[in-house]
């Protein structure tokens, strides 16, 4: 299997689905007319780098904020030590990258051929400066993974005028499940954000954490249909990774992982105008784990280059190493060898933490 061709076909399918979503939207069609040539250009750059011996992934995950206004149960960022505190007045800690430093990272990634930069945290909307900086880079697509509670009028206008910024709201299923894990009133806040985004006909997504407890509900056709009726055009089904001790019972077993993959494949066929993605389920079709630069990699708030948000171990920092050097590093190469072709469900690198730590120390 040629991973580059496979991933490029996947990106093309995403853009076709976005085209169906934006069929009757003037701003949406204008966005697609601008971004499709840029995505084609990015693919050509990746191919050139591949020939030169440097594999560049189409996706980068950038955790731009080390703070969050919520304290969600089972949060992987907090369990991994990336978050500083629960509620505060600003999104920047002293060691965090500045907006200017993030802009340099985004520009370097674009020049290598990365097309999509996923903005995460912490809560990324606590870094209004970085989101505003991303708005000035229309050659890239920035999905912004947010809890939705800080979606004010200024952000709504920013998303409306810059369609390459795509908000992705986090849910745990229904109102009760979301409020239990994220806090009372969070579901209502997300509902309000969805209504505002739909009113402006802005393409947005929803990220749903799939656990043993909510699996039957969130994988039902009716759940995706409800999200679609609220204006959602992208659904990420993210398999729960028990980063917080004592939450192992929430993780899917092998049968649950197989059911997740089967049901999401069915949803893809049922909802042709909705992008539906499954993590880590879709990795199986791509020959294994995509972390460590195979399909994506992660930059933490301080600039540390990590294989994956669920494997938060950095050997290099973008403050003193180029992205090209990081992607070609021995560390990332050994992690790719550890994970590739070894996908039986679940998060491979999380399950192989001891081996990852040994490689890090080597």
Local confidence band at 83 (pLDDT 50, 70, 90 cut-offs) = low
How does DSSP classify residue 309? T
Q: What is the pLDDT of residue 86?
A: 47
Q: What is the pLDDT of residue 176?
A: 93
**At residue 284, does pLDDT exceed 80?**
no
Q: What is the pLDDT of residue 94?
A: 76
Burial of 96 (0-12, 13-18, 19+ CB in 10 A): buried
Point out the least confidently predicted range of 37-46, 139-148, 273-282, 301-310: 273-282
- The total of other beta-carbon atoms located within 10 Å of residue 163's CB is 23
Mean pLDDT score, 299-327 = 95
**At residue 343, does pLDDT exceed 60?**
no
Query: Edge-to-edge strand order for the sheet containing 142-146?
Result: 275-279, 232-239, 204-210, 165-171, 142-146, 116-120, 59-63, 298-299, 304-306, 316-317
Q: What is the pLDDT of residue 37?
A: 96
* 51-75 tens-digit pLDDT: 999 999 999 999 999 999 887 776 7
Local confidence band at 85 (pLDDT 50, 70, 90 cut-offs) = low
**At residue 80, does pLDDT exceed 70?**
no
Model pTM?
0.92
- The total of other beta-carbon atoms located within 10 Å of residue 360's CB is 15
**At residue 87, does pLDDT exceed 60?**
no
- Identify each DSSP E strand in the chain by its residue range: 59-63, 116-120, 142-146, 165-171, 204-210, 232-239, 275-279, 298-299, 304-306, 316-317
Q: Which is it for strands 142-146 and 204-210: parallel, antiparallel or unpaired?
A: unpaired
Report percent pLDDT > 90 for the chain: 69
Averaged pLDDT of the chain: 89
- Which secondary-structure segment (H or E) carries 22? none
The ranges assigned to domains in the chain are 3-361
Local confidence band at 88 (pLDDT 50, 70, 90 cut-offs) = very low
Point out the least confidently predicted range of 110-124, 266-280, 292-306: 266-280
Q: What is the pLDDT of residue 155?
A: 98
Q: What is the pLDDT of residue 153?
A: 96
**At residue 224, does pLDDT exceed 80?**
yes
Q: Kindly report the CATH class assigned to 3-361.
A: alpha beta
Mean pLDDT score, 16-22 = 87
**At residue 21, does pLDDT exceed 90?**
no
The dihedral through the CA atoms of 13, 16, 18, 21 has a sign that is negative
SS3 278: strand
Report percent pLDDT > 70 for the chain: 90
Q: What is the pLDDT of residue 93?
A: 73
Q: Do the beta carbons of residue 334 and residue 315 sit within 8 Å?
A: no
């Amino acid at each position: 299997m040629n991973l580059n061709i496979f991933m490029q076909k996947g990106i093309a399918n995403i853009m076709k689905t976005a085209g169906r979503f934006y069929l009757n939207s003037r701003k949406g069609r204008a966005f697609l007319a601008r971004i499709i040539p840029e995505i084609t250009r990015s693919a050509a750059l990746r191919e050139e780098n591949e020939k030169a011996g440097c594999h560049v992934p189409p996706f980068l995950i950038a955790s731009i904020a080390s703070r969050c206004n919520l304290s969600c149960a089972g949060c992987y960022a907090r369990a991994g030590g990336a978050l500083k505190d629960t509620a505060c007045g600003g999104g920047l800690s002293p060691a965090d990258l500045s907006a200017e430093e993030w802009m340099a990272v985004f520009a370097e990634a674009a020049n290598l051929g990365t097309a999509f930069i996923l903005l995460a945290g912490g809560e990324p909307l606590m870094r209004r400066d970085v989101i505003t900086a991303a708005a000035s880079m229309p050659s890239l697509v920035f999905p912004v993974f947010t809890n939705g509670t800080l979606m004010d009028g200024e952000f709504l206008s920013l998303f409306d005028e810059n369609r390459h910024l795509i908000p992705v709201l986090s849910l745990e299923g229904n109102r009760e499940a979301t409020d239990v894990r994220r806090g009372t009133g969070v579901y209502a806040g997300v509902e309000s954000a969805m209504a505002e985004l739909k009113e402006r006909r802005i393409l947005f997504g929803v990220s749903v954490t799939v656990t043993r407890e909510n699996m039957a509900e969130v994988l039902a056709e009716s759940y995706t249909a409800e999200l679609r009726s609220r204006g959602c055009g992208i659904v990420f089904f993210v398999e729960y990774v028990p980063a917080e001790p004592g939450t192992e019972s929430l993780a899917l077993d092998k049968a649950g992982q197989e059911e997740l993959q089967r049901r999401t494949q069915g949803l893809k066929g049922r909802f042709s105008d909705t992008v539906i993605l499954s993590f880590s389920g879709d990795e199986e079709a791509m020959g294994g784990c995509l972390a460590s630069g195979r399909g994506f990699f992660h930059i933490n708030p301080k600039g540390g280059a990590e294989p994956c948000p669920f494997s938060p171990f950095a050997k290099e920092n973008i403050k003193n190493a180029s992205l090209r050097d990081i992607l070609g590093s021995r560390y990332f190469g050994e992690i790719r060898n550890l994970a590739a072709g070894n996908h039986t469900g679940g998060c491979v690198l999380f399950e192989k933490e001891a081996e990852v730590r040994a490689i890090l120390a080597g």
